[in-house]
A and B are shown apart, each in its own frame.
Chain A
Amino acid sequence: KQEVTQIPAALSVPEGENLVLNCSFTDSAIYNLQWFRQDPGKGLTSLLLIQSSQREQTSGRLNASLDKSSGRSTLYIAASQPGDSATYLCAVMKDTGFQKLVFGTGTRLLVSP
C-alpha cells in the first residue's frame, strides 16, 4: 500500500528565504507526482505535475524534483513571499490499475513579512 509522508508538517520562515518542502513515498512504481497548494478552507490548486519519466518541473519561483528510485520529491520555493503562505500537498499516482492519487498530509507554510 502506497504511503506518502511530508516533512516538516509546518514551517515558518521570513519573507525572502528560499525553502524546500519534502515528500517521500513508499512505492516507487508511480505514474506521476503532483504538487498542490491549499489555502485555508479552500480547494486544491495544482502547482506542478511531474511524469514518472521526468526529473523536474519548473513554474515561476517553484521547482519540483522527482527521484523515483529513492521515493522522494522536493518542492523548492525561491524568494518566498507572504502570499505563499498555505498548505502544500504532494500526491502520487500508481502506475498500474486505475490511476488513483494518494495524498500526503501536507506541509503548512507561513511566510512572515
Chain B
Amino acid sequence: DAMVIQNPRYQVTQFGKPVTLSCSQTLNHNVMYWYQQKSSQAPKLLFHYYDKDFNNEADTPDNFQSRRPNTSFCFLDIRSPGLGDAAMYLCATSKGSGRRAWELFFGSGTQLSVL
C-alpha cells in the first residue's frame, strides 16, 4: 500500500544533542510537511516542501531545519533540542495538484523525548 512512513517510532535524545527524524513516502506526492504536536494540543505546522521549494512558517524556531534530498524522503533536524521540544512530530504529504490536491496523508509520527 502507498503510504507515509516515519522512523523511528520513538526517539530519545539528550538536551542539546542534535537529532534527525526521517519520513519517506511512496505516494509520489509533491508536497511534504512537518508538524509538531504537543500533548493535548493541535498539530502545528513547522514547514513544508513543494517539490524542492522550502517554506518555513514564520514562528518556527531556527533550531528546526529540514532537508528533502529527493521526492520520497524528507528529514527534520533539531540542532540543539531543548526540553520544550519534546513532542510528537508528524510528517504529511499531499499531491499539490489535480483532484483532491490538498488532501493530507499523515505518517504514524515520531514521539521525541528529551532528557
B102:A31 contact, CB within 8 angstroms: yes
Shortest B97–chain A CB gap in Å is 11
Distance in angstroms between the alpha carbons of A25 and B45 in the assembled complex: 18
Answer whether A98 and B55 are a contact pair too, CB < 8 Å, given A43-B6, A105-B40: yes
Number of A-B contacts (CB under 8 A): 50
A43:B42 contact, CB within 8 angstroms: no
A selection of 11 A-B contacts at a CB cut-off of 8 Å is A43-B106, A43-B109, A44-B43, A44-B90, A45-B106, A46-B103, A46-B106, A89-B42, A98-B55, A100-B48, A101-B104
Distance in angstroms between the alpha carbons of A84 and B48 in the assembled complex: 31
B106:A36 contact, CB within 8 angstroms: yes
Determine whether A88 belongs to the interface, using a CB cutoff of 8 Å to chain B: no
Determine whether B108 belongs to the interface, using a CB cutoff of 8 Å to chain A: yes
Chain A residue numbers with a CB within 8 Å of B106 are 36, 43-46
Distance in angstroms between the alpha carbons of A49 and B42 in the assembled complex: 18
Q: Which of B48, B101, B102, B105: most chain A CB closer than 10 A?
A: B102
B42:A34 contact, CB within 8 angstroms: no
